[in-house]
Amino acid sequence: MYLTNEQEAVLKGEEGWAKKKCLEIIVGLGEIYGADRLIPVASTQISGVSYKTLGEYGLQWVESLAPAKVVVPSTLNPAGMDLCFWLEMGVPEDFAAKQMRVIRAYERLGVITLCSCTPYLAGFAPRFGEHVAWSESSAVCFVNSFLGARTNREGGPSALASAITGLTANYGLHLNENRKPTTIVKVSAKLGGLSDYSALGYLLGKMVQRDIPYLRGLPSLSVDEAKALSAAAAASGNLALFHAEGFTPESRGDVVEVGERLHVDDRDLKGVYEELSTIHSGKIDLVAIGCPHASLAELESAAALLKGKKIPPTTKLWFFTSLPIKVLAERLGFVAVIEGAGGKVFTDCCMIVAPLERMGFTTMAVNSAKAAVYAPTASRVDVVFTTFEKCVDIALEGRLV
């Protein structure tokens, strides 16, 4: 792989231990994947933030990199708790102390501590054609497919290494030839709310393990629909890029005729709700919405459904979003309505990376296929995957309805 004199000097340690180690990670990945050179990145998004997933060794690695500083705008994935209201969530104190150590370690490196899987909704949206190094799988799929930015599915350490060096290796989805659709997926299923897009994403991720799908037949693809689709597609498989006819900027206007045709119909979609639900009756401890982090429009819809209603104290209704979206939702009165009904709007975290397994929850309802896939193993809860409206109804009844 070609390296500039400047990059060779960094590898010799002339700019310090941390930068040398970080460049070694980038170069190592480049060699594994056959990159020809390193390229600059415009931003990074770093996973490995919740202490639940990072652990002690991960925390020590992040701490060891100071006093190095990131050289491009860099944000974080969700942490394991709301950084202000963790006590209200019931997060154990020992976990909270470790979590705050993680946040301080990233702060010392100059990372912007916006802890969100949807930074593109909060002022950090990469532009068309821009090379970035992002690691949250749902966000990677969204920015590649919906915005036309270019990123591989980075791990937390490689995204942090890119943040500190400003570089990534030129391979995979940074290259034109690897971004072309390779199989057509015809969607004839009738898509209703966001959970249907999430169910479609789940099927897509499972169906196309190595291919880049070209979706034909989507009636619409709003930001929230693309967010739901991307998250589930990246959770059930390795998908980091799809093309949706008429919507994906890179293929807009192209006539694509490639590969094997797959098909998704109403029965397939309905089957996902059954497949991902591990319970079908009884009490629900937690209704959790915001995987990926809820948009302003989702919080507005929730406020409309909850206005004048009351959630029983035995069930919790929690929304997860980013701090900037919550601030706007507060200003617009949505948070007051949701919290007036007994719900909560938390920031910085989510239902999967929070230590739910230590917080007394055993059953959870979600409208996200990604959350439904991960919850039974990551948080050891039984789960029901259903629509947004049914989630709110479950919260109001305190049980499956």
Binding site for ligand F3S (CB under 6 A): 77-78, 117, 136, 138, 231, 291-293, 320, 350, 352-353, 370-371
Report whether the peptide linkage leading into residue 67 is cis, meaning its omega lies within 30 degrees of zero.
yes
Side by side, the strands of the sheet bearing 316-321 are 344-347, 316-321, 286-294, 363-366, 382-385
Cα 210-214-217 angle, rounded to 5 deg = 140
Q: What whole-number distance in Å separates Cα of residue 204 and Cα of residue 189? A: 13
In this structure, how many other beta carbons lie within 10 angstroms of the beta carbon of residue 186?
15
Phi, psi of 185 (to 5 degrees): -115, 115
Q: What is the token pair recorded at 142?
A: 């969204």
- CB 265, min distance to ligand F3S, A: 26
Of the pair 121, 353, the CB lying nearest ligand F3S is at: 353
Give residues with Cβ within 8 angstroms of 176, minimum separation 6.
none
Of the pair 19, 370, the CB lying nearest ligand F3S is at: 370
- CB 117, min distance to ligand F3S, A: 3
Closest listed residue to residue 207, CA positions, set 274, 277, 261: 261
- CB 66, min distance to ligand F3S, A: 25
Of the pair 27, 103, the CB lying nearest ligand F3S is at: 103
- CB 355, min distance to ligand F3S, A: 13
| β-strands 316-321, 286-294 pairing | parallel
Of the pair 52, 390, the CB lying nearest ligand F3S is at: 52
- CB 27, min distance to ligand F3S, A: 29
- CB 20, min distance to ligand F3S, A: 31
List, as one string, the DSSP characters of 123-146.
T-PPPTT-B-EE--HHHHHHIIII
- CB 245, min distance to ligand F3S, A: 25
Closest listed residue to residue 224, CA positions, set 291, 129, 150: 291
| Cβ atoms of residues 311 and 392 within 8 Å | no
- CB 105, min distance to ligand F3S, A: 19
Question: Residues for the chain: how many in total?
Answer: 401
Of the pair 174, 293, the CB lying nearest ligand F3S is at: 293
Of the pair 26, 76, the CB lying nearest ligand F3S is at: 76
